[in-house]
Chain A
Amino acid sequence: MSYLEYTVRRVPTGPAKVLYLNWPLLVLVATAAAIGFVMLYSVAGGSMSPWVEPQLKRFAVGMVLMLGVAMVPIWFWRNVSGLAFGVSLLLLVGVEFFGDVRMGAQRWIDLGVIRLQPSELTKITLVMMLAAYYDWLDIRKVSRPLWVAIPVLLILLPTALVLTQPDLGTAILLVAGGGIVMFVAGVHWLYFASVFAAAGGLVTTVFWSRGTSWQLLKDYQFRRIDTFLNPDIDPLDAGYHITQAKIALGSGGWTGRGFMQGTQSRLNFLPEKHTDFIFTTLAEEFGFVGGMGLLAIYALIIFFCIASALGNQNRYGAILTLGIAAAFFLFFAVNMSMVMGLAPVVGVPLPLVSYGGSAMLVLMVAFGLAQSAHIHRPRTRA
């Protein structure tokens, strides 16, 4: 669908756009962020510093960004998708040379004003790129091998760069997120079936490669998988994170141990308690009820995204919104699986809740895009 098509449909313009915002989505996003503030306050031992204050500022900036992005017509975003993707690829390359090494991984690039994780940015720009691609592509060509190969390359390019950092978590999200965009765009299901089959083969190969000269994963990544499969191997070292996270989560019970009463997080048994493992603190202090509450908010965010996408005649907007929903889902699904011991520890933050600037800003921009798609969706003239 192109600009011309909009001329025959009604699209809100000017300040009236605010009325057409996806308000439930906005409120839900703010709620999730608020839960994040409460949890950061708790893990800091009842203090605004060091985490709540910066996070609040980022959220404020993120909110402004989101609204700004939302106000810009969706076709503008469609037209800059390629550019955005290109820039994030450049940054990914740049991070290889100028990146800061933090916690054993090259992930950060210091732009002077903010420290950016290009890999976070890529999660969204990849979705934009793919959505724009499928918007451009003739629907009848979607499942043709050549036209399938192009998006696959678009996915694998940033994935390869991210893997060299090395950042397994983001790589998984990129592949899964990109795959989901291809899926919703209508690529034939046989492709996916064969990819799953191939993935199974690959996993087998990866494990075969262990200890050989052509070992495909770093030792620490293998160890993470080992400790995931059996955390008791080394409960004080590599398995420590998983074991302590499970203890924190499990000890929460139905209603939790109470706000700021979680012994696991308060006494520093939890690793990364303000970032990747913040869900365990929530589950410890507010129990099953609290965890389900956050999960419900996440589910509603997804629900409103999907609902918005399903009613959207704009192919770019629909695919983009679904892609963002998928990326968001992947964030919390992987994070929760990780802390519940269902997946290896791969370093994925809990969206909107975990402490971290890049992830927060990128997510807010993503929701801004979804809002833009929502506001600027073509409506039949009454």
Chain B
Amino acid sequence: MRRTPKDTAEGARIVNRRGLILGGAMAAFSGLLIARMRFMQVEQADEFRLLADENRINIRLVPPSRGLIFDRRGVPLAENEQNYRVVLVREDAGDVGEVLARLQRIIHLPEEDLQKVREEIERRSPFVPVTVADRLSWEAFSEIAVNAPALPGVAPEVGQSRIYPLDQDFAHVVGYVGPVSDYDLTEGYLSEDTDPLLQIPKFQVGKTGVEAKMEHDLRGQAGTRRIEVNAQGRVMRELGRISGRAGDNIRLTVDSALQNYVQVRLGEESASAVVMDCESGDLLAVGSAPSFDPNKFVRGISVADYRALLENDHRPLHNKSVQGTYPPGSTFKMVTALAALEHGVVEPDETIFCGGYKELGNRRFHCWRRGGHGRLPLVNALEQSCDVYFYEIAERVGIENISAMARKLGLGERHDIPMSAVASGLTPTKAWKRENRDTDWLIGDTFNSGIGQGFVLASPLQLAVMTARIASGRAVAPRLVRPLDAGEPDPEAPLLDIDPAHLRFVREGMYAVTNSARGTARASRVVADGIRMAGKTGTSQVRNITAAERAAGVTRNEDLPWDRRDHALFVSYAPHDAPKIACSVVVEHGGGGSAVAAPIARDIVLQALYGGTPPLDAYPTSQRGTIRTRQDELPLRDPSSFSIGRIRA
């Protein structure tokens, strides 16, 4: 249509004016955008930069390598080995079933394990890596690494796992590690521990023994790895790492060769033995048989194996040397003797008549020798282990004094060594019985306690400590951990608050036990030049032979079923004139101390003194044949297995 020039001009004027207004409005809005941009990028830049970094930077923990455990000479008892494993991250895997099936074509996984893995994957958050297979061979491991593109979410990893090269020998001392459990964290010994490492799934912590008791020294400190992740959580690169601190290495006082000897010598018996240095208190061997292979626990023990361990009536999992407590039997007589001597209720040369029993009211307390010993002084009472003598002096000195002496010698006390379930045993008092048995203490209880029966309980460790204290006259304390650097010699243990003369009488009695013609353990004497062994036998009743059994012809212990037989005990030290080694042996249901426990103790003591197989002429001539055969037959470990590792501080 036509438009007048006036209209055209008017229209252009309006458009120009409105166009300028529009431009102004746009400029104003742009100014707003600029201001906003400036505010965010200049004023708030640091804050947003931080947020961006938080987005992309993840801190991951790097588990430290666990401290190693060595024996006194530097032989490794617990080491770490490279462990090749594969982990799977659900959210990266997509179809978990398909990925597992492909993995299955490379490495064979038992269906049982696979099921466990599936459950674990379901349970965990989608981004948590779950270990699918462990301890892979290098070949399998590298094949998985090569096939990684076809296995989304699967990552090969190198970790460390614990290995115990001397497997059975130190199962009870060193213990073993295992994945940290909910129980450990909530009620167990780690409930107070806030170390973030414990949040890592399947982080390995000590479960028993030194591994558990010295967990904090062994664990070390986590390092951190700063990694850049993308929005999906995939690791893009490492930005840096702060190295952690490896766990402390620990040197034990035990001698792995001696420990091996002890374990082998105890053999299949349900038995334990503790060898202790009389001067320093160093525990040279702490044996408990039968034992088990701790490596099985680290790798994940099968149900069948575990059940077999639990159902074995010799209780392999039980650490008998420190955890097991037994009535010490006649090995306790030194305590009674010392208590009586110290309180002056008996003179060393005073003789007491044994007619085979001691009467209390209308009850008879029998001597083990029904016919009686006649009159005999302290030394001979110990030598022949006369029960009546000790009933008598126990009655004279009283239970409180006996128990006090027992505690002085290390009984009834929980010794501070880093092993699991260290028992405190029991040294009964009148107050104890009233509290725990709700009845009054009877004189008969004193009789029984005087010969180490009844309520008295002691562990093989405590018996070894007692023997070492009697032998050295010093309050030596057992020690399992040795400082890594030799440093200054250990301060001597304080002298016991016992008249040395009294100790000498007791030692004389113990010498007679193994050396004199009528000694109960004369068969187990040592005849080497300059070395004589002193000891004391003990037999602790598991139960009395009943009248019915006696009527049925069962009069001897050997006729009873195994688990009702008496425990055999023996404590000893050597050399007699300059004691170095104290040793206690308990053979559960072994029968008599002199027949069963004493020969074992002699072998162990000689082994410890000679630092290896003792010469045959340390044994009495008549026994050398059998001893030689036994020495040859014992399946000891090859000496090369005790190769000395490098001790790092």
Q: Which A residues have a C-beta under 8 Å from some C-beta of B?
A: 1-2, 4-5, 136, 138-140, 180, 183-186, 244, 246-254, 263-264, 267-269, 283, 287-288, 291-292, 295, 299, 302-303, 306, 309-310, 312-313, 315, 318-319, 322, 325-326, 329, 333, 336-337, 340, 342
Residue B552 interfacial (CB < 8 Å): no
Closest residue of chain B to A306, judged by CB?
A: B23
Count residues of chain B with CB under 8 A from any CB of chain A: 46
Task: List 15 additional contacts besides A251-B51, A269-B55; criterion CB under 8 Å.
Answer: A5-B8, A139-B11, A184-B22, A186-B15, A249-B37, A251-B48, A251-B49, A254-B41, A288-B42, A310-B16, A312-B12, A313-B12, A322-B18, A329-B29, A342-B32
- The answer to whether B230 touches A267, judged by C-beta atoms less than 8 angstroms apart, is yes
Q: Which residues of A contact B11 (CB under 8 A)?
A: 139, 186, 315
* Cβ-closest chain B residue relative to A279: B37
Interface assignment of B547: CB less than 8 Å from any CB of chain A: no
In whole angstroms, how far apart are the Cα atoms of A302 and B29 in the complex? Answer: 13
Given contacts A1-B3, A250-B47, contact A315 B41 (CB under 8 A): no
In chain B between 210 and 232, which residues have their CB closer than 8 angstroms to a CB of chain A?
Answer: 228-232
Q: Is the CB of A183 within 8 A of B18?
A: yes
Question: B52 at the A/B interface (Cβ < 8 Å)?
Answer: yes
Closest Cβ neighbor of B6 among chain A residues: A139
Interface positions of B from 5 to 34, Cβ below 8 Å from A = 7-8, 10-12, 14-16, 18-23, 26-27, 29-30, 32-34
Residues of chain A with a CB closer than 8 A to B44's CB: 250
Complex A-B: 13 CB contacts under 8 Å: A136-B1, A138-B3, A250-B41, A250-B47, A253-B42, A263-B228, A264-B56, A287-B41, A291-B37, A292-B34, A306-B19, A319-B15, A326-B26
Which 6 A-B pairs give the minimum distances between C-beta atoms? A250-B48, A267-B230, A186-B14, A253-B45, A251-B52, A268-B231
Known A-B contacts A254-B45, A295-B30, A306-B23; A2 and B1 likewise in contact (beta carbons under 8 Å): yes
A310 CA to B15 CA in the complex, in Å? 7
B3 engages A318 (CB within 8 Å): no
Given A186-B18, A267-B229: A315 in contact with B33 (beta carbons within 8 A): no
A140 to chain B: closest CB distance in Å?
7
Q: Which residues of B contact A292 (CB under 8 A)?
A: 34, 37
Asked, given contacts A139-B7, A254-B42, A310-B16, whether A299 binds B30 with beta carbons under 8 Å apart, the answer is: yes
Cβ 8 A contact of A283, one of B27, B30, B37, B231: B37
Chain A interface mostly helix, strand, loop or mixed? helix
Quote the shortest CB–CB distance from B275 to chain A (angstroms).
62
A248's partner among B36, B52, B230, B236 (CB-CB below 8 A) is: B52
Residues of chain B within 8 A (CB-CB) of A2 are: 1-3
How many angstroms between the C-alpha atoms of A9 and B32 in the bound complex?
42
**Assembled-state Cα–Cα distance A318/B16 (Å):** 9
Say whether B8 contacts A247, CB under 8 Å: no
The answer to whether B23 touches A303, judged by C-beta atoms less than 8 angstroms apart, is yes
Residues of A within 8 A of B42 (CB): 253-254, 288
Residues of A within 8 A of B22 (CB): 180, 183-184, 306, 322, 325-326
Contact yes or no, B55 A250, CB < 8 A: no
CB-CB nearest in chain B for A255: B41
Cβ of B228: which chain A residues have Cβ within 8 Å of it?
263, 267
State which of A4, A267, A340 has its C-beta within 8 Å of the C-beta of B33.
A340
In the complex, A2→B26 CA distance in Å?
Answer: 31
Complex interface residues of chain B between 276 and 316 (CB less than 8 A to chain A): none
B38 at the interface (CB under 8 A from A): yes
**B56-A263 in contact (CB<8A):** yes
For B230, the chain A residues whose CB sits under 8 A away are 267-269
Residues of chain A lying within 8 A (CB to CB) of residue B232: 268
Complex Cα distance A299/B31, Å?
A: 11
Q: How far is the CA of A322 from the CA of B16 in the complex (A)?
A: 10
Nearest B residue to A321 via CB reads B19
